């Protein structure tokens, strides 16, 4: 286009996506052309603008899977799942265990429970009331029964020297090779309830102290409040007097619903000839729990004013300290996911021959108020732990579905009217 002076002048069209430097170049007169380098736009930059990367035209791998390829993948995965499931089912079938024997509904066991201090202190009817004490806020006490007694002394461990024991029979139909596990089973106990499994104070269990009494009190009230928890009512009287003979107050240790509802029943196993079977609890808890999560700490006088003493606030009575480090307590503190669960009580390192064995039960744990059930059993395990036939069945079902899908895709590829990879 001719300008007013008769000369030619270049006019450039500005694209909406064009940068400000190009707009400036397009608006300059022919005689005022500026070099690209002077505008900050180098040749490398121009080359970059025209590259495949800038224009989103780079080469890419865009697979077009055919039905036969997908069928092959499904078949491979399905075969692997079926194989794993078959192995799991085979291992579960190789586990030998006795039928769980329920004992809470046995007449002699029910009578023994009524004589247990754990029952009379917490679940017996209070005076003219018709409701159990525990349901009215009387705290649960995991130390209600003396756990240091030998099995021969259990028959006088009840209130007033009453007998709290009963006996149930376990029939072993085929030899159990060691290690053999004595387990108890609870039904109807919801350890997976949100308010239950969160009611615990892990720092207290680890034996770690707090920077002040106020910090300890706040932690206890935050984590351990609950209807059946001693800590709900704050400090309670110590079982031991203070260093000057006066009564001291302290926060319960361990606190929380999980700890306070500890399973207090005890068991002893007798051979068919009446002799006791040697059992141990030294290996029933996880090593990581024993070494890092449940640590010993004790201060019998609870003298929190002594400078330089370890754990001025988070302290325990000797019997509380023994409870926290007890493998049975540690096993209980690892909460179960289902309302029916088994927990390990003892390990037997000798072979059990077929026969009828007797379990002596020290009945302390009440399941009546939540309509639960208690049972006892013997079992062996696999190299993967307890038998789990449900897991094996799940693997087989998924594997079969994959194989069926693979066959369907292969047939569709072969006999379909058109290529299904299009």
- pLDDT tens digits for 55-105? 677 777 777 777 888 899 999 999 999 999 999 998 888 788 899 999 999
Termini Cα distance of the chain: 53
Token pair belonging to 118: 């754990």
pLDDT at 138 > cutoff 80: no
Look at residue 121 and tell me if it is in a domain: yes
pLDDT at 225: 67
The answer on 209 and 86 residing in a single domain is: no
Look at residue 4 and tell me if it is in a domain: no
Q: How far is CA 308 from CA 11, 171, 234, 251, 337, in A?
A: 89, 57, 26, 21, 42
The answer on 359 and 216 residing in a single domain is: yes
d(CA 143, CA 287): 24
Q: What mean pLDDT do residues 249-269 have?
A: 84
Percent of the chain at pLDDT exceeding 70: 73
pLDDT at 46: 66
d(CA 43, CA 39): 11
pLDDT at 303: 46
The answer on 398 and 265 residing in a single domain is: no
Look at residue 59 and tell me if it is in a domain: no
The answer on 212 and 301 residing in a single domain is: yes
Q: Which residues of 291-313 are buried (b: 16+ CB within 10 A; e: fewer)?
A: eebbeebbbeebebeeeeeeebb
Number of structural domains (the chain) is: 2
Record the pTM.
Answer: 0.72
pLDDT per residue over 372-388, tens digit each?
999 999 999 877 777 77
The answer on 393 and 268 residing in a single domain is: no
Q: What mean pLDDT do residues 275-292 have?
A: 94
Residue 369 and residue 135 in contact, taking contact as beta carbons nearer than 8 Å: yes
The answer on 375 and 252 residing in a single domain is: yes
User: Cα dihedral angle (3, 5, 7, 8), rounded to 10 degrees?
Assistant: -10
With cut-offs at 50, 70 and 90, classify the pLDDT of residue 399.
very high
Residue predicted with more confidence, 253 or 73: 73
The answer on 224 and 208 residing in a single domain is: yes
Look at residue 57 and tell me if it is in a domain: no
Q: How many residues does the chain have?
A: 422
pLDDT per residue over 115-129, tens digit each?
998 887 777 655 555
Token pair belonging to 324: 């926290």
The answer on 205 and 296 residing in a single domain is: yes
Residue predicted with more confidence, 372 or 32: 372
pLDDT at 161 > cutoff 80: yes
The answer on 318 and 285 residing in a single domain is: yes
Look at residue 23 and tell me if it is in a domain: no
The answer on 75 and 114 residing in a single domain is: no
Q: What mean pLDDT do residues 20-44 have?
A: 50
How far is C-alpha 55 from the chain's CA centre? Answer: 52
Look at residue 46 and tell me if it is in a domain: no
- The range of the structural domain enclosing residue 374 comes to 96-380
Bridge partners for 249 per DSSP: 237
Look at residue 159 and tell me if it is in a domain: yes
Q: What mean pLDDT do residues 165-189 have?
A: 94
pLDDT per residue over 329-371, tens digit each?
999 999 999 999 999 999 999 999 999 999 999 999 999 888 8
The answer on 276 and 132 residing in a single domain is: yes
With cut-offs at 50, 70 and 90, classify the pLDDT of residue 297.
confident
pLDDT at 357: 96
pLDDT at 135: 56
Instruction: Calculate the average pLDDT of the chain.
Output: 78
pLDDT at 179: 92
pLDDT at 248: 42
The answer on 108 and 76 residing in a single domain is: no
pLDDT at 270: 96
pLDDT at 326 > cutoff 50: yes
Query: How, if at all, do strands 247-250 and 236-241 pair?
Result: antiparallel
Q: What mean pLDDT do residues 190-204 have?
A: 90
Look at residue 176 and tell me if it is in a domain: yes
pLDDT per residue over 6-28, tens digit each?
444 444 444 444 444 444 444 44
pLDDT at 239: 40
Residue 331 and residue 243 in contact, taking contact as beta carbons nearer than 8 Å: no
């Amino acid at each position: 286009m001719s300008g007013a002076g008769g000369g030619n002048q270049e006019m450039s069209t500005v694209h909406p996506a064009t940068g400000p430097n190009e707009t400036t170049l397009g608006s300059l007169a022919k005689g005022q052309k500026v070099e690209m380098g002077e505008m900050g736009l180098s040749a490398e930059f121009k080359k970059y603008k025209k590259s495949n990367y800038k224009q989103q035209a780079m080469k890419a791998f865009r697979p077009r899977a055919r039905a036969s390829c997908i069928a092959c993948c499904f078949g491979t995965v399905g075969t692997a799942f079926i194989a794993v499931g078959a192995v799991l089912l085979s291992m579960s079938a190789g586990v030998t265990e006795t039928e769980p024997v329920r004992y809470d509904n046995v007449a002699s066991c029910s009578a023994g429970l009524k004589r247990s201090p754990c029952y009379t202190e917490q679940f017996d009817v209070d005076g003219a009331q018709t409701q159990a004490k525990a349901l009215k806020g009387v705290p649960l006490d995991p130390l209600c029964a003396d756990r240091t007694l030998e099995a021969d002394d259990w028959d006088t461990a009840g209130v007033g020297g009453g007998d709290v024991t009963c006996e149930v029979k376990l029939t072993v139909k085929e030899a159990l090779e060691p290690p053999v596990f004595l387990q108890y089973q609870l039904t109807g106990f919801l350890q997976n309830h949100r308010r239950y499994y969160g009611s615990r104070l892990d720092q207290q269990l680890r034996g770690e102290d707090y920077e002040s009494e106020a910090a300890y009190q706040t932690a206890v009230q935050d984590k351990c409040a609950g209807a059946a928890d001693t800590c709900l009512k704050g400090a309670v009287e110590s079982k031991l007097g203070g260093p000057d003979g006066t009564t001291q107050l302290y926060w319960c240790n361990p606190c929380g619903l999980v700890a306070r509802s500890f399973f207090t029943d005890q068991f002893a196993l007798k051979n068919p000839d009446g002799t006791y079977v040697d059992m141990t609890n030294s290996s029933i808890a996880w090593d990581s729990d024993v070494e890092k999560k449940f640590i010993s700490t004790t201060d019998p006088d609870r003298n929190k004013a002594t400078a330089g003493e370890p754990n001025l606030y988070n302290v325990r009575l000797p019997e509380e300290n023994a409870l926290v480090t007890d493998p049975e307590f540690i096993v209980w503190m690892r909460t179960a996911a289902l309302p029916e669960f088994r927990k390990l009580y003892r390990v037997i390192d000798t072979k059990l021959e077929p026969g009828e064995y007797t379990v002596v039960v020290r009945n302390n744990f009440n399941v009546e108020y939540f309509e639960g059930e208690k049972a006892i059993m013997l079992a062996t395990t696999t190299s993967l732990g307890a038998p789990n036939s449900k897991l094996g069945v799940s693997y087989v079902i998924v594997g079969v579905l994959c194989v069926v899908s693979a066959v369907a895709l292969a047939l569709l590829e072969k006999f379909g009217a058109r290529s299904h990879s299009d």
